[in-house]
Structures are given as C-alpha cells and as structure tokens.
Amino acid sequence: MEIVWQTPANPPEARDYIIRDGKRFVRPYYFEFVSYVKNRWVGKTVVDLFAEEFTGRPREYYVGAVKSGRIQVDGQVVSLSYRVRSSQKISHFLHRHEPPVLAGSISILQKEPEVVTICKPASMPVHSCGQYRKNTVVGILQAEHGLTPLFPVHRLDRLVSGLLIFARNPSKADQLRQQIEAGLLHKEYIAKVLGVFPEGEQVVNANIDYNAREGRSSVETADKCNGKHLKGKTACTKFTRISTNGIHSIVLCEPVTGRTHQIRVHLQHIGHPIANDELYLHHSEVIAPRSTKRMHPESAAMDTYQPSPVLESSYDVNSNEEFSIDPMCTNCPNLGPKGYDGDEEGLWLHCLRYSGPDWTYECPFPDWAFLL
C-alpha cells in the first residue's frame, strides 16, 4: 500500500470522520510533524533527543523510526549515531490518531457575508491544538460545510458549548476583536450549578490566578493572602438565578472580564460550582491534569510499542469503510489514541449571547437548562 503523507496544508474532508457509539472519530492518517533543533538539543543523537524529550513512546520505537526513515533530519535519512545541529529541521512521519469528541452536530445559526455564527457542541476544540487537528470546529465546518477561511473572534473551552462567532475575513475579525479588547461587548452564559442559588444579582469581584501547569485557576482575596501582594488578575462576574428545583439552579453568568475559567472558579468561590465540573466541584481538592510531562503533541498519551508483522486493515461496522493499521503505530488497531478511552461529558456551561455596539448574536438553550 502506498503511504500518502499529510501536512497542515491538507484540508479535512467529510470522509475523514467516523461516528461510533455516540462519538466522532477521525480516521487515522499519515502525518508529518516538524520541529526545529533547540539549543538544548544540540549535540544529541536523534534517538536520545526523542527518547528524552518526547517520552510518550519507548526508546525502541525511536530506534525503529530512525532506521526506517520515519524520523529524518533536513529531509534526509540519518544513522542512529547522527548528532543534530542548531536549527536543523526534524521531521517525524507517523500514523496519527486524534482523540474522539462527542458526536453532536454543529448547527449554523447565522451565515452572513462577513460573519458566521454556530452552536458549538461540548467536548470539541475550536481550532487545532495538541492532538486535535481535524476533530475541531474549524476542521468540521470546512469538511462538511465548505466554510473556509474562518477567523475565530473569541474562543470557548473544549468542554463548553454554545455560541461561537467567526469572521469570514481578517478585517472583520480585527474589528470585532478590537471591540472585545475595548470592553464594548456584553457576554452572557448560562450554567447549571449545585444548590439553590440566591435571588437577585450576585456580583463577584475576586482576583483569579491561573496555574498553567495544573490547568486550573484559583481565587485570590485579601483575607486569604494575609496582606501579601495579590498576584492574580482582577476579575468580575455578575450572576442571576433563572430557575431552581431545590437541587440545582440555572444561573445567568455575565463576565465583565475574561480570565481563564473565570465563571467556573467564581461559581465555586461563592459555593455553587457547576454541577458536573470535576475540576472545581471540591474547593480544596486539586484534580491532576491528564499529564504534566512535556510531550510532542503527536506523542502524548501513548505508551507501549508493539509492532505488527504486516500492514493490515480494520473494518469499521458503522462506516462500512476500512482504515489502515500501521505496523509501527503505537495506537493501532484502535481508532482513538491510547488514554482517551473513557466517557466524557460536556460541561454544564453554555455561551448564550454576545452583544456589541450595533449587533447581537445568540444561541438556543441546551437541554440540560430546563429543570424538572
């Protein structure tokens, strides 16, 4: 079988996706990852470099990849003893498996000459990041609706659903982003929180300190810091209860500032965390991130290397199509990469409405927002 290597220039296509068991998978594909030699890598052999820096695969995998030419330097096959030099281009050709996302469809809300708005399903990243390239809002809109280019005006965390605004040209994107930076936008979200949220508008002014290593934010207040300088950024959110059933409440959330996880951590701070938010449900509990190791995006969440003797194919009963199983791939014969096998639930946080000086875009309420 002839291997066709893809690069970021290859656009996603509708046939790239497989829907299985309520999840959207990407059919595994061959991809060239490119990096350039950093100063700390200079003088290392290619095998040592990968084994030490990209620990998601064992050393024997990298030995085989160099021997077979799947790891190259400046476009050339090199020996196991080759030592890299500064700024050289290193290519890693591999069988790429993207993590699955929930299989919800992307609803196009408005399609205008300069703006497209959509309702983003939970669990789907907006654009390429980490191991996600095709399984993204931008990728799927291009593959299934022919919408390209698109310029995200704002972003939503992967687990958050709701309104996303895309400009269709750079000048419109700059105009809308300038309005955001100038504080001219009014943003509204809804959340399903624990407990009976109090009546009336609740305003939270509390600094937020984001810990990138842990992937979570924390609230800083003067009393907690005992007079020490607050290192977090100022943050303000307004909350108003919409409804309650005595167990949960639906709350309108209006962030005045835009800090990482602002709504989530402010709700936790006042004792009403989002009801399915594992990261912030317990005030004193720090949930470990999926990984704190530094890994190349293509090597995260992959462990043992068990090469197959021949190139095979696997039959997918839902799509009635085949996908290739690569003999050197550490993820085959599964569709998704190792480490993404568990069930994932979208966060009960939804972007409802964005309003500017002379425009408003909004998104329908999600099913979970109607309490019984």
**Average predicted confidence (pLDDT) for the chain:** 86
- As a whole number of angstroms, the distance between CA 311 and CA 92 comes to 19
Given a cut of 80, whether residue 135 has pLDDT beyond it is yes
DSSP state string for 120-186: EPTT--SS-BTTBSSSSHHHHHHHHH---S-EESS---TT-EEEEEEESSHHHHHHHHHHHHTT--E
Q: φ, ψ for residue 193 (rounded to 5)?
A: -115, 165
Q: What is the pLDDT of residues 212-244, one digit of tens each?
A: 889 899 998 765 555 566 788 999 999 999 999
> Does the structure show a pLDDT above 50 at 302?
no
The predicted model gives 77-81 an average pLDDT of: 96
> Is the per-residue pLDDT at 300 higher than 90?
no
The confidence score (pLDDT) of residue 125 equals 95
**Out of 5-9, 279-283, 307-311, which region has the weakest mean confidence (pLDDT)?**
307-311
User: Stretch 173-181: mean pLDDT, rounded?
Assistant: 92
- Which pLDDT band, with edges at 50, 70 and 90, does 304 fall under? very low
If phi > 0 it is left, if psi is from -120 to 50 it is alpha, else beta; for residue 56 that is alpha
Catalytic positions = 157
Omega within 30 of 0 (cis) for the link into 333: yes
SS3 track for 306-349: CCCCCCEEEEECCCCEEEEECCCCCCCCCCCCCCCCCCCCCCCE
| pLDDT value of position 372 | 82
Residue 132 has pLDDT above 80, yes or no: yes
Q: What is the pTM of this model?
A: 0.82
- Residues 345 and 51: their CA atoms lie apart, in Å, by 34
Pick from 314, 299, 295: nearest CA to 28:
314
Contact present, 277 and 347 (Cβ < 8 Å): yes
pLDDT at 289 over 70: no
* Identity of the amino acid at 30: Y
**Interatomic CA distance for residues 252 and 239, integer angstroms:** 6
Residue 177 in this model has a pLDDT that exceeds 70: yes
> Is omega for the bond preceding 149 within 30 degrees of 0, making it cis?
yes
- Is 316 a residue whose pLDDT tops 80? no
pLDDT tier at 9, thresholds 50, 70, 90: confident
Domains and CATH numbers, the chain: 14-100+297-325 (3.10.290.10), 185-296+343-372 (3.30.2350.10)
| CA 261/CA 237 separation, integer angstroms | 11
Extract the tokens encoding 272: 């009403």
Kindly report, residue by residue over 20-52, the tens digit of the pLDDT. 989 999 999 999 999 999 999 999 999 999 999
Better-predicted residue by pLDDT, 239 or 300: 239
Determine the pLDDT at residue 243.
97
